[in-house]
Amino acid sequence: MKKIRNSFKYAIEGIWTSFKTERNMKIHIFIMILVIIAGIILKINKSEWIICIILFAIVIGSELFNTSIETIVDMVMPEKNEKAKIAKDVSAGAVLVVAIGAAIIGLVIFVPRILNILI
Please confirm, yes or no, whether 70 is among the known catalytic residues.
Answer: no
Q: Which of 48, 63, 79, 82 is labelled catalytic?
A: 63
Q: Which DSSP string do the residues of the chain spell out, in sequence order?
A: -HHHHHHHHHHHHHHHHHHHH-HHHHHHHHHHHHHHHHHHHHT--HHHHHHHHHHHHHHHHHHHHHHHHHHHHHHH--S--HHHHHHHHHHHHHHHHHHHHHHHHHHHHHHHHHHHHH-
Active site residues: 63
